[in-house]
Structure 1
Amino acid sequence: MSAQPVHSHQPDRVPRNAEGIAAALDGVKRLEFYRELLAAAPEQAEGVLRRWWCEAMLDTDPSGDRLTEAALAGTLPTTSVADVVAHRRQAGLPVE
């Protein structure tokens, strides 16, 4: 099993900036995003953007409902961290 994305995001469904992230979030999440971003120290802002970009990508994933149902039903395919590390080592990728 690969740790690579199931489907490509080229170009990303959600632009990697505050405007793009906010546009992809619903009202309640959008307010929370802005609250966290405005409260973040400059060195924390990148982490806030990254976290909320991931949230926005999940919210806009066309397969999102199917994946949520599979996760709740316990039928979502999984892999162990050890398998991912072994795969990355075999591919010559960092595992730090």
Structure 2
Amino acid sequence: MSAQPVHPQVPRVPRVPRTVDGIADALQGGRRMEFYRELGTAPLDQAEAILRRWWCEAMLDTDPEAEQIRRAAMDGTLPVVTMEDILARRERQGLPLE
């Protein structure tokens, strides 16, 4: 019998690269065009925030458990944590904090 970790290791390479092409490739159809449109019309000082938001959208879109996460969010049963807890966990795992 082998023991499985309670929380699987977070991969060092994200499913969706933090690039314009990586985000666009992960989005489907109309969402991809919406991303390009929003990014293409944004002032330069807002581009990074737009990329960050759409990267989160792309990560959720490509998450194999996305439907369960959406359902739990809608049902009010999605576990929540503070940003302090998230940052501390990421720091312990040696992940970027930005």
Match 1:24 to one of 23, 26, 29: 26
Match 2:71 to one of 61, 64, 69: 69
Counterparts in 2 of 1:65 and 1:7: CA distance versus 1, 3 Å: farther
**1:52 aligns to what?**
54
**1:40 aligns to what?**
42
Runs ≥4 residues deviating over 3 A? none
Give distance in 2, aligned partners of 1:64 and 1:54. 12
SS in 2 for 1:8: coil
SS in 2 for 1:45: helix
Deviations 1:61-94 (A, max 9, x none): 1111111122222322234x5xx55x58x99x8x
Counterparts in 2 of 1:55 and 1:7: CA distance versus 1, 3 Å: farther
Structure 2 unaligned segments of length 5 or more: list them: 1-6, 92-98
What is the total number of aligned residue pairs between the two structures?
83
Q: Percent identity?
A: 49
Quick one: higher RCO (CA 8 Å, sep 6+), 1 or 2?
A: 1
Give distance in 1, aligned partners of 2:8 and 2:69. 12
Measured on the aligned residues, the alpha-carbon RMSD in Å equals 2.6
SS in 1 for 2:10: coil
TM-score (norm 1): 0.71
Structure 1 unaligned segments of length 5 or more: list them: none
Counterparts in 2 of 1:6 and 1:52: CA distance versus 1, 3 Å: farther
